[in-house]
């Protein structure tokens, strides 16, 4: 199935209407880890608005893409099930097991298990593959990349602004792209199938 990214941003009134509809229908009930401490990596997630890097103010509703498909929902369910299986697995550089895993190792394992796709082992190689995707056009299963100081990081987008990844401090978790830390160091995204 092929789908091109929309180059036209959604109108603010439409985003607000879609977000309101999603809340009314219970779409906001997905599991998202609550970040109650103030460590830089774990900036507090906010319900509607957050301040991104470079002082920009953005609405979390920008991640609610219109036209969610049955395939998108299936991929989200697969990723949520994988998260429950991997939740709390500690971070270990070079790790590829439930005893310890790093970010690119988790991507490699889950892409093979969930989608039957063989991925390279490192972030540096994973980011060179696939098709570039604009942040506003992210769909479940896309990889999101970050450039924190002195390192590279990758996670799997789950929809509604969430991504699954192996955090260096907290192990395998779900975080929000709208968190200050991730917004500040967001780099790019890639699509590998569809």
* Annotation says 27 is catalytic: no
CA terminus-to-terminus distance, the chain: 5
User: What number of helices (H) and strands (E) belong to the chain?
Assistant: 5, 10
Q: In sequence order, what are the residues at sequence separation of 6 or more whose Cβ sits closer than 8 angstroms to the Cβ of residue 127?
A: 143, 145, 152, 154, 187, 188, 190
CA distances in angstroms from 124 to 49, 113, 116, 137, 194, listed in the order given: 31, 21, 21, 22, 22
**Locate tokens 């906001």: which residue?**
28
How far apart (Å, rounded) are the C-alpha atoms in residues 89 and 1? 33
CA distances in angstroms from 22 to 16, 39, 148, listed in the order given: 10, 30, 32
> Which residue in the list 35, 42, 91, 165 is annotated as catalytic?
165
Do 134 and 10 form a contact (C-beta atoms < 8 A)? no
* Annotation says 91 is catalytic: no
Catalytic residue numbers, as ranges: 103, 153, 165
């Amino acid at each position: 199935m092929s789908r091109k990214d929309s180059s036209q941003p959604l109108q603010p009134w439409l985003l607000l209407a879609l977000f309101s509809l999603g809340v009314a229908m219970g779409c906001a009930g997905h599991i998202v880890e609550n970040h109650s401490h103030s460590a830089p990596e774990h900036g507090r997630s906010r319900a509607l608005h957050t301040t991104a890097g470079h002082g920009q103010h953005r609405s979390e509703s920008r991640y609610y893409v219109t036209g969610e498909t049955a395939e998108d929902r299936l991929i989200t369910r697969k990723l949520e099930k994988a998260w429950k299986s991997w939740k709390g697995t500690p971070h270990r550089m070079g790790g590829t097991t439930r005893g310890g895993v790093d970010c690119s190792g988790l991507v490699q394992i889950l892409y093979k298990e969930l989608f039957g796709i063989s991925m390279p082992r490192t972030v540096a190689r994973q980011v060179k593959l696939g098709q570039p995707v604009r942040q506003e056009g992210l769909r479940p299963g896309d990889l999101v990349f970050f450039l924190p100081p002195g390192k590279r990081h990758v996670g799997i987008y789950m929809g509604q602004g969430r991504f699954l990844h192996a955090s260096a401090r907290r192990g395998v978790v779900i975080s929000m792209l709208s968190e200050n830390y991730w917004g500040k160091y967001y780099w790019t995204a890639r699509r590998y199938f569809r």
